[in-house]
Amino acid sequence: MSKNLIIASTSTIHGSGYLEYILPELEILFDSTQEILFIPYARPGGISHERYTEIVAKAFKKINKEIIGIHTYDDPIQAVENAKGIFTGGGNTFVLVNQLYKTDVMPTLRKRIYEGIPYLGTSAGSNICGLTMQTTNDMPITYPPSFKTLGIVPFNINPHYLDPIENSTHMGETRQTRIKEFHAHNTLPVVGLREGSWLHVQGETIQLKGNPTARIFKKDKSPYEIKQGSYLEF
């Protein structure tokens, strides 16, 4: 089997419920299974694993899918090994990556994705599909053993990418500036995924889907846009 996953910038777009905007795609992605293993480790806002799983279960119920949290298993590695579909939700990428290393789930998760298990990642769950987590937007509130992540795609991801706002009085760095700082020390390409867009990975094919364009950053090169439907090659 070959890779089959959706790497989405976000779980929620403005004016829409949790995962609502992408549910038709998820119905296709997970058409071979009624049960999906949920990895709630990123804990947005510090909510509990239980509460996060409840939110996700409510959304997936609309397409008749059952959600089971990985935290309910005594052996999380075996849970990933036996899963028929996997979703890793958003939140804090440092917390997520730290827990994936702490439970030793990272290598098994990578193996299962390469075996072709349908996988969905949103936000932090998308960040970990890149080569490293170093282009996350999150605060380093925990210290993972490594910044290296799954390496499912040959670049890094910046979810929730925001363009500089003209005439803004905000004096902090723009997202583009932060990625430029990353490229002062690293050579990996970065894909800026705007809200409402996602990457559909099938085998070695990576296609941009959703409404907004995406922004591509390469070291010592001017950033450029790619349109919906474009294929990414690095």
0.75 exceeded by pTM: yes
- Among 211, 195, 200, 213, residue whose Cα is nearest residue 90: 195
- Strand-strand pairing, 214-217 and 119-122: unpaired
What percent of the chain has pLDDT above 90?
Answer: 92
Query: In this structure, are residues 215 and 223 in contact, taking their beta carbons and an 8 Å threshold?
Result: yes
Query: In this predicted structure, what is the pLDDT of residue 171?
Result: 62
The pLDDT tens digits of the residues spanning 12-59 come to 998 889 999 999 999 999 999 999 999 999 999 999 999 999 999 999
In percent, the amount of the chain with pLDDT more than 70 equals 98
Q: Give me the residue spans of the domains in the chain.
A: 4-226
pLDDT digits 0-9 by tens, 134-184: 999 999 999 999 999 999 999 999 999 998 777 777 667 899 999 999 999
For residue 1, is pLDDT > 70? no
CATH number of 4-226: 3.40.50.880
37, burial (CB in 10 Å: exposed 0-12, middle 13-18, buried 19+) = buried
Compute the mean pLDDT over every residue in the chain, rounded to the nearest whole number.
96
pLDDT of the residue at 14: 81
Please give the DSSP secondary-structure letter assigned to residue 121. E
> What are the catalytic residues?
123, 138, 160
- Which pLDDT does position 193 carry in this prediction? 98
Confidence band for 112, pLDDT divided at 50, 70 and 90: very high
Of 5, 27, 7, 28, residue with least CA distance to 197:
7
Distances (CA, A) of 194 to 77, 144, 210, 217: 32, 26, 9, 14
